[in-house]
Structure 1
Amino acid sequence: MRSTTAAHSARALRSQGALAVLRFVHAHPSATRADASRALGLSSGSATEITARLKAARLLDEAAPPRTGGRGRPSPVLAPHPEGPLVCVVDISHERWRVACVELGGGVLDSEQGRHSGSADVVGLLAGRVTAVHARHGRRLRAVSVSVAGTVRGTTIVQASGMGWRDVALEPLRPPGVPLLVGNDASLAGLAEARRGAGAGARAVLHLTVEVGAGGILVVDGRPVDGATGAGGEFGHMPFGDPALECPCGARGCWDLAVDGRAMARSLRRPQPRDPRTAAERIVARARTDPASREMDAVADAARALGRGMGALVNALDPDLVTLSGLAIDLAALAPDPLGEGYTAALMRYRRADPPPVRPSALGSLGTLTGAADAAFDVLLTNDGLTAWSAS
């Protein structure tokens, strides 16, 4: 009897636009039933009926909107159900980690973070944190989504040059019976930026970030173009740099080596820094306080190299616009002319009159967490995902 009831519930959720309403609410937190009706072309009666079924399935709820002080009784907003599905996001950067529990719509229920030494042993520590999240939320936890500063294939980090990792398996982060997704941090930040940030509303968005090296993703119609194995977007390993320089990835001439703290240190004839991100921050801070300094020259060189590679990618990928995050924002702000010179010089002639605009990130440090959560909800907000939720 129970299996028959679950099957009936799953069929009901898949019918009459229930998935469309859930996806709309996830993309537009605090939307009302009327908002969903207008956006999805539903009648008022259909929207009411679908909302009732989603509430019964513990997927959606309706809540009082924030008080505005205006007259009249405002409509309740569609909100995640207090017993609805959750995803656990694990964000591993070069020096820090973060574990967060995220609900439908992107709201963060709880979060903790810390620093790590760069050793892959941090995976064991994070496995314990994920296990605790699973114990706390039980069946509500529907996926674990990992963002990592490295090249990913499946659930394995095949290389993370900034941390010296090779072939690090992340399966220990998978609780029993819970799907595990792993993505590159720059790619996930680009996904979030295209959907919810500076690229929202554009069809094709090229996102670029500079931290230790360069990375990013092309997002088309809200979907990342991430290749056959998930390793797409490793723009930093395209040969836009000096072919005499060997990258830790094994290739020569990588763009990585021309745009980050390592490039700035070479411009200043300093030893290669152990921590390129911190070195870049110090050089940028000095350039900001003294525009006539040698540090500003190093920033300008890196900005010009960023612009050249950006132009080459625009020629190849044809985006509507380019979004920037991380150190790339500092390079664009401090050295806009060198960046613009490199960008324009690399563009094909016909593009120069109207090049894709370049915009700074609107999400900042929340980009990777937001993108990782969205990638997980993309899997959950499907027919199979709702069937599994009903069966649970």
Structure 2
Amino acid sequence: MTTRSTALLRVVHRHSGVTRADAARLLGIGTGAATELVTKLSRAALLAQAPAAPSGTRGRPTTVLLPHPDGPLVLACAITHEAWRLDVVALGGATAASLSARHGGARWADVRTAVAAAIEDLLSRYGDRLRAIGISVPGPVSRTLRLEAFTSDWHGIDLNELWPGAGLLVAGNDATLAATAEHLRGSAAGAAVALHLRIEAGLGGAVIDDGRPVLGAHGAAGEFGHMPFGDPAVRCGCGAHGCWGTAVDGTALARLLGAPEPRDPVTYARRVIATAARELGSQRARQDVAGLPPLSSGTPSGGAAAYPCGSGEAEPEIDPAASVEAVRVVGGALGRGLAGLVNALDPNLVTLGGIGVDLLAAVPNTITAAYRDGLMLIHRESPPPVLPAALPDDEGPIAGAAEEAWSALLPRLT
């Protein structure tokens, strides 16, 4: 009964509003057994029942299953080098409350104090309904829940300090958690083996195999940006030379354009990519007017996506033609690395997050050409598709943190 109860809670978490009959079918049990489970979980204030919307057909009204209004909640916390955010998340994924603030690269002690105070605030509101916390951070997390962020002084950080009294605390790298969320609720849903890459201030990701991320012996799996696919002359913040991440992020674009290293590589990268996308659009328009064949690379006829162009502060002008060439070089480096990972890992599909979405929209043909050229013959007839992530940049990691917290909590509720 306990195992089936947990399984039913998982079904409702994944499909909030599922009918009792459909839940029974998903679990492979009869309607009588399903009714017994629902009654038990309703009495425990874990599930609630409600009539389904009228279908217009005859027969007994259908019952849908929902999270109990007084049921358990989890905290999801996402900490980046610029900001933090806390969400209160119910069974099914709905957000009940949220707190956030920017910290602008503060010392860990200051970030810890601010986040711990926010947790106390939410505890005062929700009390013992808050049963677990999932934490997303910008770096590898050991099995003892210590953070090692390569691009900051956040080393050896004990994440348990954020909520010392937590009954259940789980944590992970932001790219890994974004991959988990993308597999459950995004573009990779249903894939047996999915590869997710997230390009922000560096490059990370994860392989999701049979629904779970591959974490590695020390919790550092998925640091794909530190494979030696880049320029051996470029030293990475991790201490190695030639890391792939340094060839595809905002620092790579700055080097190609002869600009100083940007303070905010993500905002800078989006400015450069937006400039390149506009220039490619102008080139296509000139080709059309002149009656010439379409460009062999760049964006397809639908055009590029719109990109945020920074914080509104005055920024140096970026040469449009130079930006196109720089973005194509970075797109080629991204495509070649993708091919290497597909050859090694054999995923069903690849999803890109962060500025990977921007690059894929701006120079898809460049990325695709480099990707296909690097694939082994066995993959070329039907290469795994490379898709933009469905979840926005600021949603993937925190959604993944919530999923990890619920995944750990559900077996303890029954």
The alignment's TM-score, normalised by the length of structure 1, stands at 0.90
The amino acid of 1:270's aligned partner reads A
| In structure 2, distance between residues paired with 1:349 and 1:58 | 55
Cα deviation for residue 357 of structure 1 reads 0.8
Match of 1:24 among 2, 7, 11: 11
Match of 2:183 among 194, 197, 210: 194
CA distance 1:47–1:69, change in 2 (3 Å): closer
Cα deviation for residue 71 of structure 1 reads 5.9
1:369 is aligned to: 398
Cα deviation for residue 224 of structure 1 reads 0.7
Identity among equivalent positions (%) equals 47
Q: What CA deviation, in whole Å up to 9, does each residue of 1:239-278 have, x standing for no partner?
A: 1101111101111111110001000111111111121111
| In structure 1, distance between residues paired with 2:201 and 2:43 | 47
The amino acid of 1:20's aligned partner reads A
| In structure 2, distance between residues paired with 1:253 and 1:59 | 51
The amino acid of 1:83's aligned partner reads D
2:380 is aligned to: 352
Cα deviation for residue 134 of structure 1 reads 2.1
2:211 matches 1:182 = no
| In structure 2, distance between residues paired with 1:42 and 1:186 | 37
Q: SS at 2:382's partner residue?
A: coil
Match of 2:357 among 329, 343, 361: 329
2:148 is aligned to: 158
Cα deviation for residue 138 of structure 1 reads 2.1
Cα deviation for residue 350 of structure 1 reads 1.9
Contact map agreement 2:146 2:156 (CA 8 A) in 1: yes
Match of 1:229 among 191, 214, 218: 218
Match of 2:98 among 107, 111, 130: 111
The amino acid of 1:266's aligned partner reads R
2:42 matches 1:55 = yes
2:62 is aligned to: 75
The amino acid of 2:391's aligned partner reads L
Q: SS at 1:199's partner residue?
A: coil
| In structure 2, distance between residues paired with 1:304 and 1:114 | 36
Contact map agreement 1:173 1:180 (CA 8 A) in 2: no
Contact map agreement 1:206 1:321 (CA 8 A) in 2: yes
The amino acid of 2:11's aligned partner reads F
Match of 2:323 among 295, 298, 303: 295
Cα deviation for residue 14 of structure 1 reads 0.8
Cα deviation for residue 76 of structure 1 reads 3.1
| In structure 1, distance between residues paired with 2:267 and 2:22 | 45
Contact map agreement 2:336 2:374 (CA 8 A) in 1: yes
The amino acid of 1:225's aligned partner reads V
The amino acid of 2:274's aligned partner reads A
Q: What CA deviation, in whole Å up to 9, does each residue of 1:282-304 have, x standing for no partner?
A: 11121122125211211111111
Match of 2:84 among 84, 97, 100: 97
The amino acid of 2:118's aligned partner reads R
The amino acid of 2:398's aligned partner reads L
Calculate the aligned-residue CA RMSD, in Å: 1.7
CA distance 1:349–1:235, change in 2 (3 Å): same
Cα deviation for residue 230 of structure 1 reads 2.1
| In structure 2, distance between residues paired with 1:70 and 1:250 | 65
1:45 is aligned to: 32
CA distance 1:217–1:68, change in 2 (3 Å): farther
Contact map agreement 2:168 2:409 (CA 8 A) in 1: no
1:220 is aligned to: 209
Cα deviation for residue 94 of structure 1 reads 2.8
CA distance 1:74–1:279, change in 2 (3 Å): farther
Superposition pairs of residues 213-292 of structure 1, within 5 angstroms? 213-291=202-280
Matched length: 370
Contact map agreement 2:150 2:237 (CA 8 A) in 1: no
| In structure 2, distance between residues paired with 1:22 and 1:228 | 30
2:95 matches 1:123 = no
| In structure 2, distance between residues paired with 1:91 and 1:63 | 33
CA distance 1:378–1:286, change in 2 (3 Å): same
Cα deviation for residue 175 of structure 1 reads 4.0
2:42 matches 1:14 = no
Q: SS at 1:208's partner residue?
A: strand
The amino acid of 2:388's aligned partner reads P
Cα deviation for residue 177 of structure 1 reads 4.3
Uncovered stretches (5+) of structure 1, i.e. residues with no partner:
1-12, 388-392
The amino acid of 1:314's aligned partner reads V
Q: What CA deviation, in whole Å up to 9, does each residue of 1:339-385 have, x standing for no partner?
A: 11221122112211111111111122321121111111111122xx1
| In structure 1, distance between residues paired with 2:150 and 2:190 | 32
The alignment's TM-score, normalised by the length of structure 2, stands at 0.86
Q: SS at 1:316's partner residue?
A: helix
| In structure 1, distance between residues paired with 2:210 and 2:12 | 18
| In structure 2, distance between residues paired with 1:151 and 1:220 | 19
